[in-house]
A and B are shown apart, each in its own frame.
Chain A
Amino acid sequence: KNQVEQSPQSLIILEGKNCTLQCNYTVSPFSNLRWYKQDTGRGPVSLTIMTFSENTKSNGRYTATLDADTKQSSLHITASQLSDSASYICVVKGAGNKLTFGGGTRVLVKP
């Protein structure tokens, strides 16, 4: 069964600090992996999309890594800002157009 597991479920960090979110998946075959940011009550916004051959991809203060061998990805947030408070969802695209969503990590940045 295709699954995407994210950890931690939630975390609190102080403004200016870094944090790393984890995503483990069992989706096969693998097409690509996406990280979305979702503010409360709003639609998800894409941060990065990574294919099999990509190990690292950055979008501003967000850096995603992918290890296709171990089927793990991480999202690193550098120098967190209050606006980073949101849910971060890992989504893996498998065969055809099938997307498997992770449960998300809720991040709260405190001043």
Chain B
Amino acid sequence: DTEVTQTPKHLVMGMTNKKSLKCEQHMGHRAMYWYKQKAKKPPELMFVYSYEKLSINESVPSRFSPECPNSSLLNLHLHALQPEDSALYLCASSQDASGSYKTGELFFGEGSRLTVL
């Protein structure tokens, strides 16, 4: 199984709502990532979890709150978002985040399309 599963596929929320994006992988990977992608732009790294600990936060606003309950699951909690936060949110995983794995190949999920009204 080489899949990274993201839910929901589409989410529409108001600026006062609280919602969560979920990501799951069963490849035994120990690194998981959240990326944000605007239309016609490459993905931008938001967070990296390595062995269930937050290792990188790319200066993301606190209205985005990541959580890694266990090695297979990654959540992104959303609160008080702005319309400019509308984007495709991609989850990815890799063997590990230390760079010691031979290639560090990244496996992406299908993404969650978020629209903030």
Contact = CB atoms under 8 A, between A and B. Distances in A.
Interface residues of B, number: 28
Nearest to B102: A51
A50 to B, nearest CB: 9
Given A43-B90, A43-B111, A97-B31, A51 B99 contact: no
Interface stretch (B11-19, B42-50, B65-73, B77-85): B42-50
Interface string A96-109: 11010111101000
A89 interface: yes
A97 B49 CA distance: 12
Contacts of B43: 44, 89, 101
A76 interface: no
Contact of B99 (A44, A95, A102): A95
Contacts, number: 57
**Chain A to chain B: the 3 pairs with minimum beta-carbon distance, closest first:** A43-B108, A101-B42, A97-B97
Nearest to B101: A97
A34 B6 CA distance: 23
B105 A49 contact: yes
Contacts of A46: 105-107
B88 A41 contact: yes
Interface string B101-115: 001111111110100
- Residue of A45, A49, A51 contacting most chain B CB atoms (<10 Å): A49
A51 B103 contact: yes
Given A97-B98, A97-B99, A31 B88 contact: no
B41 A103 contact: yes
A32 B105 CA distance: 10
Contact of B105 (A34, A95, A104, A106): A34
Interface in A55-111: 89, 91, 93, 95-97, 99, 101-104, 106
Contact of A43 (B42, B56, B103, B110): B110
A62 B98 CA distance: 29
A32 B103 contact: yes
A95 B99 CA distance: 8
Contacts of A89: 42-43
Contacts of B99: 31, 95-97
